[in-house]
Chains A and B, each alone.
Chain A
Amino acid sequence: MERVLLERKVLSENERIAAGLRARFADHNILSLNLISSPGSGKTSLLERTLESFDRSERVAVLTGDIQTENDAKRLARFGFPVKQITTGGTCHLDARMIERALLDWHLEEIDLLFIENVGNLVCPASYDLGESAKLVVLSVTEGEDKPLKYPSIFFKSELLILNKIDLLPYVPFDIAAAEENARSLLRNMQIVRVSCQAPQGIAAWLAWLDRKRQRSRAATSAA
C-alpha cells in the first residue's frame, strides 16, 4: 500500500475554466458581477431597476441562470441590452463552463459590465468560481436576519450585501440591524446597501456603489 499525495482543488477543472474567463474579462476590461441569493430575494428585480437606469449607450450585458424557463431573460430583455438565459436543467448553480458556453457568440469587446445572475440558492453557487470580479449577495427582509450565520460561506465571499424589500419592513419581524451585524460578524468590511426594488427606494445607493466599483475597476485596469 502506498499513499500518493495529490494536493489540488476538487473543482480544479472549474477553477481552470474560471481562470481563463477571468483573464478574458481582464483583457477586455470587463467588470463582471456574480449575483447570488435565495430564490425570490429579488435579483431579477434589482437588475430591472439597474438596467432601466442605464443609458442605452452603456455597454452592459446580463447572463441569467435558472433551472427552467426563459422568464427572467424575457423580463430583462425589455431594456434593450444583450441578455441570455442559461437554463441548467436541474443543476442548482452556474459553473464556469456554462458561462464560457454562453459567451461563445458574444463579442466581449462590446461589453464593459457583465451581470451574472446565479440560480437562486445560497449554498452551491458559493463553491463555483465563475471568473467574476466580485460576488454580490442579495438578502430580502422576508427571510431571516440570521441567514448570514446559516449560510456563512456565501456571505464570507461576497463584497456587497444588498438588503432588498425594505419597503416591507413595517410588516415583517425582520431585525435589519441584527442582519447587518450578523453579516459583519463574518466579514468586518462587508459593504451593505438597503434597497426596495418595488417602492423603489435606495436604488441610488446601489447605483452609486456600482459606479464606484466600475471606476475602481477602470483605474486598476489603466494602472496595469
Chain B
Amino acid sequence: MHEMGIANAVLDAIRAETHRFPNGHIFKVGVRIGALAGVDPDAMSFCFEALVRGTELEPLVLEIEYCPCRSQCRACGRSYAASREDAICPACGMMESLFLGGDELELSYLEVENGARVVGT
C-alpha cells in the first residue's frame, strides 16, 4: 500500500507547477498507470481524494489512464496486448516478443482554468 506516497508525489508535482498559472486553477491532472507499475488505480484514487480534501488544490480531479502491457512480435512486428513474454502473437503465432510498455507511472497533463497566461516553463 504505497499509493498514498504516489498520490503525494503527484500533488507535490502539481504544487511545483502552480506558479506557472498565477491566475488559473488546476482542476484536473492526468496520470498514466501501467499494469506492471504495481499501483492499484482504485487505491490511488482513494488516497488522492483524501489528500486533496480541505487543501488549496480542491477541487481537483484525478484522471487515470490505465495502460495494459504491450508487446511487439519480433517476427512480424505486430503490436499486441500481453502481460507475459511467452504470449503468442495473434497475427503470426510466434512467441518471440519485445516488451513495449506497461510499467508506466507518469504524469501526463494538467487541465487549467484561465491557464492561458502560462508563465515560463
Residues in chain A within 8 A of chain B (CB atoms): 1-14, 91-93, 123-124, 126-127, 151-154, 156-157, 184-188
Residues in chain B within 8 A of chain A (CB atoms): 1-2, 5-6, 9-10, 12-13, 17, 20, 24, 27, 31, 35-39, 83-86, 103, 105-113, 115-116, 118
Query: Could you tell me if B39 and A11 are in contact, using CB atoms closer than 8 angstroms?
Result: no
Query: Could you tell me if A9 and B106 are in contact, using CB atoms closer than 8 angstroms?
Result: yes
Chain A: CB-nearest residue to B40: A123
Query: Could you tell me if A13 and B12 are in contact, using CB atoms closer than 8 angstroms?
Result: yes
B24 CB contacts on chain A under 8 angstroms: 2
Chain A: CB-nearest residue to B118: A4
Query: Could you tell me if A11 and B109 are in contact, using CB atoms closer than 8 angstroms?
Result: no
Q: Tell me the bound Cα distance from A105 to B116 in angstroms.
A: 48
How close is B109's CB to chain A, nearest CB, in angstroms?
5
With most chain B CB atoms within 10 A of its CB, the pick from A2, A91, A157 is A2
How close is B62's CB to chain A, nearest CB, in angstroms?
11
Query: Could you tell me if A127 and B6 are in contact, using CB atoms closer than 8 angstroms?
Result: yes
How close is B6's CB to chain A, nearest CB, in angstroms?
6
How close is B45's CB to chain A, nearest CB, in angstroms?
14
Query: Could you tell me if A188 and B86 are in contact, using CB atoms closer than 8 angstroms?
Result: yes
B9 CB contacts on chain A under 8 angstroms: 10-14
Query: Could you tell me if B84 and A185 are in contact, using CB atoms closer than 8 angstroms?
Result: yes
B12 CB contacts on chain A under 8 angstroms: 13
Query: Could you tell me if B108 and A127 are in contact, using CB atoms closer than 8 angstroms?
Result: no
Query: Could you tell me if B38 and A124 are in contact, using CB atoms closer than 8 angstroms?
Result: yes
Query: Could you tell me if B109 and A153 are in contact, using CB atoms closer than 8 angstroms?
Result: no
The answer to whether A153 and B2 touch (CB under 8 A), given A10-B105, A11-B105, A13-B12, is: no
4 residue pairs, one from A and one from B, having the closest CB atoms: A124-B2, A153-B38, A2-B115, A126-B38
Chain B: CB-nearest residue to A156: B36
B85 CB contacts on chain A under 8 angstroms: 184-188
The answer to whether A127 and B106 touch (CB under 8 A), given A10-B9, A93-B2, is: no
Query: Could you tell me if A185 and B86 are in contact, using CB atoms closer than 8 angstroms?
Result: yes
One of B20, B36, B84, B113 near A1 (C-beta < 8 A)? B113
Query: Could you tell me if A10 and B10 are in contact, using CB atoms closer than 8 angstroms?
Result: yes
A13 CB contacts on chain B under 8 angstroms: 9, 12
A9 CB contacts on chain B under 8 angstroms: 105-107
What 8 additional pairs, Cβ within 8 angstroms, besides A12-B9, A157-B103?
Answer: A1-B113, A2-B24, A2-B118, A4-B20, A6-B108, A6-B109, A12-B13, A123-B1
How close is A194's CB to chain B, nearest CB, in angstroms?
21
> Can you report 9 residue pairs joining A to B where beta carbons are below 8 Å apart?
A2-B118, A4-B118, A10-B6, A10-B10, A10-B106, A124-B2, A127-B2, A185-B85, A188-B85
How close is B14's CB to chain A, nearest CB, in angstroms?
9
Chain B: CB-nearest residue to A154: B38
A12 CB contacts on chain B under 8 angstroms: 9, 13
Query: Could you tell me if A153 and B37 are in contact, using CB atoms closer than 8 angstroms?
Result: yes
Query: Could you tell me if B106 and A4 are in contact, using CB atoms closer than 8 angstroms?
Result: no
